[in-house]
Structure 1
Amino acid sequence: MKAWVFLVLGVLLAAMGLLWTLQGLGIVGGSVMSGVTMWAIIGPVVLVAGLVVAFLGLRGLRNASGRHGE
Protein backbone atom coordinates (compact mmCIF):
# COMPACT_ATOMS: atom_id res chain seq x y z
CA MET A 1 0.00 0.00 0.00
CA LYS A 2 2.83 2.40 0.84
CA ALA A 3 4.33 2.00 -2.64
CA TRP A 4 1.15 3.38 -4.24
CA VAL A 5 1.42 6.51 -2.10
CA PHE A 6 4.99 7.06 -3.26
CA LEU A 7 4.02 6.50 -6.88
CA VAL A 8 1.07 8.90 -6.80
CA LEU A 9 2.98 11.53 -4.82
CA GLY A 10 5.94 11.26 -7.19
CA VAL A 11 3.79 11.69 -10.29
CA LEU A 12 2.05 14.71 -8.75
CA LEU A 13 5.38 16.27 -7.77
CA ALA A 14 6.81 15.66 -11.23
CA ALA A 15 3.76 17.25 -12.90
CA MET A 16 3.95 20.24 -10.57
CA GLY A 17 7.67 20.63 -11.25
CA LEU A 18 7.08 20.50 -15.00
CA LEU A 19 4.35 23.15 -14.75
CA TRP A 20 6.56 25.40 -12.60
CA THR A 21 9.41 25.01 -15.09
CA LEU A 22 7.21 25.93 -18.03
CA GLN A 23 5.78 28.90 -16.13
CA GLY A 24 9.24 30.08 -15.11
CA LEU A 25 10.41 29.91 -18.72
CA GLY A 26 7.37 31.91 -19.81
CA ILE A 27 5.94 29.10 -21.96
CA VAL A 28 2.79 28.83 -19.81
CA GLY A 29 1.29 32.22 -19.02
CA GLY A 30 -1.53 33.54 -16.91
CA SER A 31 0.18 33.35 -13.54
CA VAL A 32 2.33 35.57 -11.33
CA MET A 33 4.95 32.79 -11.69
CA SER A 34 5.13 33.25 -15.48
CA GLY A 35 8.50 34.54 -16.65
CA VAL A 36 10.05 34.47 -13.15
CA THR A 37 13.49 32.86 -13.28
CA MET A 38 13.21 31.48 -9.74
CA TRP A 39 10.46 29.07 -10.89
CA ALA A 40 12.58 27.99 -13.86
CA ILE A 41 15.15 26.84 -11.28
CA ILE A 42 12.82 25.40 -8.62
CA GLY A 43 10.69 23.54 -11.19
CA PRO A 44 13.35 21.12 -12.48
CA VAL A 45 14.47 20.37 -8.92
CA VAL A 46 10.91 19.42 -7.94
CA LEU A 47 10.51 17.51 -11.22
CA VAL A 48 13.58 15.37 -10.56
CA ALA A 49 12.58 14.80 -6.93
CA GLY A 50 9.14 13.68 -8.09
CA LEU A 51 10.63 11.28 -10.61
CA VAL A 52 12.84 9.76 -7.90
CA VAL A 53 9.87 9.32 -5.54
CA ALA A 54 7.76 7.81 -8.36
CA PHE A 55 10.60 5.43 -9.25
CA LEU A 56 10.86 4.28 -5.63
CA GLY A 57 7.10 3.69 -5.55
CA LEU A 58 7.20 1.77 -8.81
CA ARG A 59 10.11 -0.31 -7.57
CA GLY A 60 8.19 -1.05 -4.37
CA LEU A 61 5.18 -2.21 -6.39
CA ARG A 62 7.33 -4.50 -8.51
CA ASN A 63 8.98 -6.01 -5.43
CA ALA A 64 5.62 -6.51 -3.73
CA SER A 65 4.13 -8.25 -6.78
CA GLY A 66 7.13 -10.57 -6.98
CA ARG A 67 6.71 -11.65 -3.37
CA HIS A 68 3.11 -12.72 -3.88
CA GLY A 69 4.16 -15.33 -6.43
CA GLU A 70 6.45 -17.16 -4.01
Structure 2
Amino acid sequence: MNQTVGSSPPQLALETFGSVHCIYPMRAPLLTLGILAFLIGILWIGQGTGLVNWPKSSFMISQMQWAYYGAALAALGVGLMGLALVRR
Protein backbone atom coordinates (compact mmCIF):
# COMPACT_ATOMS: atom_id res chain seq x y z
CA MET A 1 0.00 0.00 0.00
CA ASN A 2 1.50 3.32 -1.08
CA GLN A 3 0.53 6.73 0.19
CA THR A 4 0.39 9.29 -2.58
CA VAL A 5 2.56 12.36 -2.09
CA GLY A 6 1.47 15.95 -2.64
CA SER A 7 -2.21 15.22 -3.10
CA SER A 8 -5.00 17.08 -1.40
CA PRO A 9 -7.04 15.65 0.35
CA PRO A 10 -4.80 12.94 1.83
CA GLN A 11 -5.55 9.59 0.26
CA LEU A 12 -4.29 6.04 0.20
CA ALA A 13 -3.65 4.36 -3.12
CA LEU A 14 -3.80 0.65 -3.89
CA GLU A 15 -2.26 -0.51 -7.14
CA THR A 16 -4.05 -3.36 -8.89
CA PHE A 17 -3.22 -4.50 -12.41
CA GLY A 18 -1.61 -1.18 -13.30
CA SER A 19 -4.53 1.04 -12.31
CA VAL A 20 -4.75 3.15 -9.16
CA HIS A 21 -7.83 2.96 -6.93
CA CYS A 22 -8.17 5.69 -4.30
CA ILE A 23 -9.61 5.04 -0.86
CA TYR A 24 -10.63 8.10 1.15
CA PRO A 25 -10.39 7.33 4.87
CA MET A 26 -13.19 9.78 5.85
CA ARG A 27 -15.85 8.48 3.46
CA ALA A 28 -17.38 5.86 5.79
CA PRO A 29 -17.45 8.08 8.92
CA LEU A 30 -18.99 10.99 6.98
CA LEU A 31 -21.60 8.74 5.43
CA THR A 32 -22.44 7.13 8.79
CA LEU A 33 -22.70 10.52 10.52
CA GLY A 34 -24.83 11.86 7.68
CA ILE A 35 -27.27 8.96 7.82
CA LEU A 36 -27.53 9.22 11.60
CA ALA A 37 -28.10 13.00 11.48
CA PHE A 38 -30.75 12.57 8.77
CA LEU A 39 -32.66 9.89 10.69
CA ILE A 40 -32.57 11.82 13.98
CA GLY A 41 -33.69 14.95 12.12
CA ILE A 42 -36.67 13.10 10.65
CA LEU A 43 -37.57 11.82 14.14
CA TRP A 44 -37.39 15.36 15.54
CA ILE A 45 -39.61 16.65 12.73
CA GLY A 46 -42.16 13.95 13.51
CA GLN A 47 -42.07 14.67 17.24
CA GLY A 48 -42.18 18.44 16.78
CA THR A 49 -45.20 18.27 14.50
CA GLY A 50 -46.95 15.76 16.75
CA LEU A 51 -46.95 12.97 14.16
CA VAL A 52 -44.63 10.77 16.23
CA ASN A 53 -45.67 10.38 19.86
CA TRP A 54 -42.66 8.36 20.96
CA PRO A 55 -41.62 8.32 23.72
CA LYS A 56 -44.87 9.38 25.37
CA SER A 57 -43.13 11.53 27.98
CA SER A 58 -40.97 13.47 25.50
CA PHE A 59 -40.87 17.24 25.94
CA MET A 60 -40.45 17.60 22.16
CA ILE A 61 -43.92 16.37 21.16
CA SER A 62 -46.02 19.06 19.44
CA GLN A 63 -43.31 21.71 19.88
CA MET A 64 -42.74 23.26 16.43
CA GLN A 65 -39.26 24.53 17.33
CA TRP A 66 -38.11 20.89 17.37
CA ALA A 67 -39.51 20.38 13.89
CA TYR A 68 -37.34 23.28 12.72
CA TYR A 69 -34.29 21.90 14.52
CA GLY A 70 -35.02 18.52 12.94
CA ALA A 71 -35.25 20.05 9.47
CA ALA A 72 -31.86 21.73 9.97
CA LEU A 73 -30.31 18.50 11.27
CA ALA A 74 -31.78 16.47 8.39
CA ALA A 75 -30.41 19.01 5.90
CA LEU A 76 -26.99 18.77 7.54
CA GLY A 77 -27.21 14.98 7.26
CA VAL A 78 -28.04 15.17 3.56
CA GLY A 79 -25.07 17.50 3.08
CA LEU A 80 -22.72 15.13 4.88
CA MET A 81 -23.97 12.18 2.86
CA GLY A 82 -23.52 14.14 -0.34
CA LEU A 83 -20.01 15.16 0.67
CA ALA A 84 -19.11 11.55 1.45
CA LEU A 85 -20.50 10.20 -1.80
CA VAL A 86 -19.24 12.92 -4.16
CA ARG A 87 -15.62 13.08 -2.94
CA ARG A 88 -13.26 11.43 -5.42
TM-score bracket, normalised by the shorter chain, equals 0.7 to 0.9
Larger Rg: 2
Structure 1 or 2: larger helix share? 1
Q: What is the aligned length? A: 61
Q: Could you say which residue in structure 1 is the equivalent of 2:69? A: 42
Superposed CA deviations along residues 18-40 of structure 1, whole A, max 9, x for unmatched, are 00000000001122211011101
Q: Could you say which residue in structure 1 is the equivalent of 2:5? A: none
Determine which structure has greater relative contact order: mean sequence separation of CA pairs < 8 Å that are 6+ residues apart, divided by chain length.
1
Q: Could you say which residue in structure 2 is the equivalent of 1:18? A: 42
Distance 2:48 2:85 in 1: 29
What are the ranges of 5 or more consecutive residues in structure 1 without an aligned counterpart? 64-70
Structure 1 or 2: larger strand share? 2
Q: C-alpha root-mean-square deviation of aligned residues, in Å?
A: 0.9
Q: Could you say which residue in structure 2 is the equivalent of 1:2? A: 26
What are the ranges of 5 or more consecutive residues in structure 2 without an aligned counterpart? 1-24
